[in-house]
Every structure is written in C-alpha cells, then in structure tokens.
C-alpha cells in the first residue's frame, strides 16, 4: 500500500488516518475487508498515475513505449501542469525535441523540476561560463544529470575547485568534455586522487593535464588510482613527464580491457611483451586504440607496404593515425617512389619519417622533392590518380 501511495507517510496518524479507519469500522466493515479495499484502491490510484506518466512520456516527450515504461519507474507525473511548464522552458531555451527526448529518457525527474527555481538558475550559471545556447544544449543532452545536480552544493563548489586548479578556459573545457564531475562532485574521489599523484611526485602541470583532458580518470576510486600509479612507475614511466598521464589513463577503468586486448594483438604480430612495453613507454596511445584498428593498421603497413612488424614498434605513434586520411595517401606516394626506383627498398624508408610529420613537412620530403621526375605525385597523394596510372 505504501509503495503504491507514498503520501501515506505524510499523513498525521491520529488526526487524519485514525478517524477515517474508525468511521469505516463503525459501518460494520471488518479489518480484513477494510485492508483489502484500501490496498485495491491505492493500487488503482498508482496504476492510473503510472498510465498517465507513460502516456505523457510517449505523447509529449517523444519517448518510445519501452523507453516510457522504463522512465516511468523513476518518476511519477500526477498532472500535466508541472511537466508542461518544464517542457515549455526547455524549448524556450533552445533545446530541440530530439534533445529534450534524450534528456527526459535519461533524467525523467527533470519534468517535475520547477523551471524558475531549479532549472533557470542552473542554465544562467552555465551560460555565465560563456557557452552559447546551442553548445549548452548539446552538453546537457550528453550529461542530463547536470539538470538534477544541486547548484549550490555540487555544481558551484566543483566549479570553484576546478578554477583553483586550472584556467577559466580549461574549466569550460572540463565542463564540455567531462561534465560528470559536476554531477558527482570533486570531494569524494578527485581530491584524494590528486593527493596520491602529488605524493607520488607528479607535478602540477601533469595533474592539470589529466584533470582537463581526462577528468573521469580522476573520478575513479583512490585505491585503483594508487595501484595504477605504482604500476606505471614499475613500467619505467617518469611521473614528471606528460606521457605518464596517458599511461595512467590507458590503465584505468574500462581502458584496462582495451590495453589487455591490444597486448594480445601485438603479440600475434610478433611483438614480445618487452617490445610492447617499450612501445607503450614511447607512445602510450598505441595501447588505447581498438583491436580492429590495430589489425587494419598492421595489415596495411606489414602486408601491403612491406615494413617489418618490429619497425612499427619503434614508431608506435602511427597506430593512432587514420588509415584513410594518413596511412593510405602517404603510403601511396611512397609506393610510387619505390616503383620508379627513386627509393631503394622499403627497408630504407623510415616509417616515422613518412607517417609522423605534419602534412607540410611530408609534402616537402616526399612530394616536392620528386615532383619534377613524377609530375603526378601530388595527384596520387590527393587520390585523383591511381598508382598504376603513373
């Protein structure tokens, strides 16, 4: 009964509940029949409220029937007035219907929020950070929990903490990319984790880098961060250098699964564990890419281009580059130069010199240098001419 009618807790036992029960029993209704009647009545009230909630979520918020049923378990709507005003408020502040549907699906109790007392102060604070209406709507679409987090007790204190650690511009970057810290706050895990990093010898510059670019890493339990920091040090990373930041991120949380899968893929291509760790120390990002991307990259570089697998381990940064945008156009240029005899053997071509430099330097080194002898080289690079047509 209480589950169906939680307002029962708000009623005064002697002044409200007891007189009603005495009246019903005076009519000759037994306690057993009275209990059954009240249970059925409150259950019917609950079902009616639930039906209204589900229908409202479908018809007014654009949720699917399945999504509406799930969302209705986390909030109850008793009349259309409050949710109507919440929806009107969101539309009036630049949220599209698609964005509103996503917000309501993830955070349905926003419909019971008072627009003037709860929602408006938060939006005004977020806008004070310099975010446009469009940008703010996108952030809140990704992190709807911000609309339910306490402004005074969670959002503002976290903002002030971040501002004491990094620049105002970087605080906004954290808000855009890792807004969960504003929902869960900084006191429970972030502050203790920063202390662990400081005690381990990491400078403020590296801590700020982690806080700005990978804030969710600092939201993990301090016990996990402590173990990862020790592991990173044992692997040979210097916590004074920024590569240690990426190493910590690569070994934390769900990233650990990616790291383990990457290790097995590299081993299948002939890398020993020592070679993998050496590559990881050179460029930690090589262990954060997907198994599929590693396989495609190595198949292209080793099988199609002919570079030895272990040569790639000496330039692990290339594993983070795009196959379509970087590998293929640059390697096609190298392929033409090999076919024309202008380069003597793939083993004489440094993988790093081909894929790592910025575009301008690559073009100077491998296109402009040979353009007189191979006029179509730039067209090959741009994908306008096939290798066999040169």
The residue from 253, 269, 301 where one domain ends is 253
109 and 1 in a single domain? The answer is yes
213 and 271 in a single domain? The answer is no
pLDDT tens per residue, range 296-354: 999 999 999 999 999 999 999 999 999 999 999 999 999 999 999 999 888 889 999 99
d(CA 224, CA 50): 42
Element (H, E) at 22: helix 18-26
154 and 227 in a single domain? The answer is yes
Count the helix, strand and coil residues of the chain and give each as a percent rounded to the nearest 5.
70, 0, 30
244 and 260 in a single domain? The answer is no
94 — alpha (psi -120 to 50), left (phi > 0) or beta?
A: left
Report residue 159 as tokens. Answer: 């903002």
Q: What is the DSSP letter of 108?
A: G
* 314 assigned to some structural domain: yes
274 and 365 in a single domain? The answer is no
pLDDT tens per residue, range 247-283: 999 999 899 999 999 999 999 999 999 999 999 999 9
173 and 212 in a single domain? The answer is yes
> Quick one: average pLDDT of 81-102?
94
Q: How many domains does the chain have?
A: 4
* 126 assigned to some structural domain: no
pTM value > 0.85 = no
Tokens 């008072």 correspond to 114
Cβ-contact 93, 144 below 8 angstroms: no
The residue from 273, 304, 320 where one domain ends is 320
105 and 6 in a single domain? The answer is yes
Q: How far apart are the first and last CA of the chain?
A: 82
Torsion of CA 69, 70, 72, 75, to 10 degrees: 180
306 and 361 in a single domain? The answer is no
* 120 assigned to some structural domain: no
32 and 4 in a single domain? The answer is yes
* 236 assigned to some structural domain: yes
* Distances from the Cα of 228 to the Cα of 7, 254, 286, angstroms: 48, 13, 18
Tell me the longest C-alpha to C-alpha distance in the chain.
109
* 192 assigned to some structural domain: yes
Tokens 């970057």 correspond to 173
Q: Please, what is the average pLDDT of the chain?
A: 89
* 132 assigned to some structural domain: no
d(CA 183, CA 258): 26
* 127 assigned to some structural domain: no
* Distances from the Cα of 183 to the Cα of 173, 180, 186, angstroms: 15, 5, 9
25 and 50 in a single domain? The answer is yes
* 128 assigned to some structural domain: no
The residue from 197, 218, 253 where one domain ends is 253
The Cβ-side half-sphere exposure at 361, using a 13 Å CA radius, reads: 7
Domain that holds residue 215: 149-253
Task: Give φ, ψ of 219 to 5 degrees.
Answer: -95, 0
| Least confident span in 169-178, 265-274, 372-381 | 169-178
């Amino acid at each position: 009964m209480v589950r169906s009618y939680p307002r029962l807790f708000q009623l005064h036992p002697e002044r409200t509940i007891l007189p009603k029960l005495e009246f019903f029993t005076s009519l000759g209704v037994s306690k057993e029949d009275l209990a059954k009647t009240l249970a059925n009545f409150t259950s019917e009230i609950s079902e009616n409220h639930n039906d209204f909630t589900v229908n409202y979520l479908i018809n007014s918020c654009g949720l699917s029937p399945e999504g509406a049923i799930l969302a209705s378990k986390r909030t109850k709507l008793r009349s259309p007035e409050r949710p109507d005003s919440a929806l009107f408020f969101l539309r009036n502040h630049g949220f599209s219907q698609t964005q509103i549907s996503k917000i309501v699906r993830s955070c349905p109790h926003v419909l019971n929020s008072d627009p003037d007392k709860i929602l408006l102060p938060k939006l005004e604070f977020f806008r004070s950070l310099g975010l446009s209406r469009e940008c703010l709507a996108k952030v809140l679409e990704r992190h709807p929990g911000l609309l339910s987090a306490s402004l005074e007790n969670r959002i503002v204190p976290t903002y002030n903490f971040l501002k004491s650690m990094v620049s105002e511009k970087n605080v906004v970057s954290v808000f855009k990319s890792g807004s969960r810290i504003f929902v869960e706050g900084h006191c429970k895990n972030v502050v203790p984790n920063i202390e662990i990093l400081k005690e381990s010898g990491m400078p403020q510059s590296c801590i700020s880098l982690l806080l700005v670019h990978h804030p969710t890493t600092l939201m993990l339990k301090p016990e996990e961060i402590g173990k990862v920091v020790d592991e990173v040090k044992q692997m040979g990373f210097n916590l004074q250098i920024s590569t240690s930041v990426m190493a910590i991120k690569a070994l934390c949380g769900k990233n650990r699964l990616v790291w383990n899968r990457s290790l097995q893929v590299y081993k299948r291509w002939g890398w020993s564990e020592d070679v993998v760790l050496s590559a990881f120390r050179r460029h930690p990002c090589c262990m954060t890419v997907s198994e599929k991307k590693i396989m495609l990259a190595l198949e292209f570089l080793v099988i199609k281009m002919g570079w030895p697998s272990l040569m790639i381990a000496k330039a692990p940064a290339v594993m983070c580059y795009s196959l379509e945008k970087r590998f293929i156009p640059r390697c096609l240029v190298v392929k033409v130069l090999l076919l024309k005899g202008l380069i003597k053997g793939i083993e004489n071509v440094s993988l790093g010199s081909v894929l790592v430099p910025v575009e301008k330097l690559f073009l100077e080194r491998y296109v402009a240098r040979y353009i007189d002898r191979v006029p179509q080289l730039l067209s090959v690079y741009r994908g306008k001419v096939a290798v066999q047509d040169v």
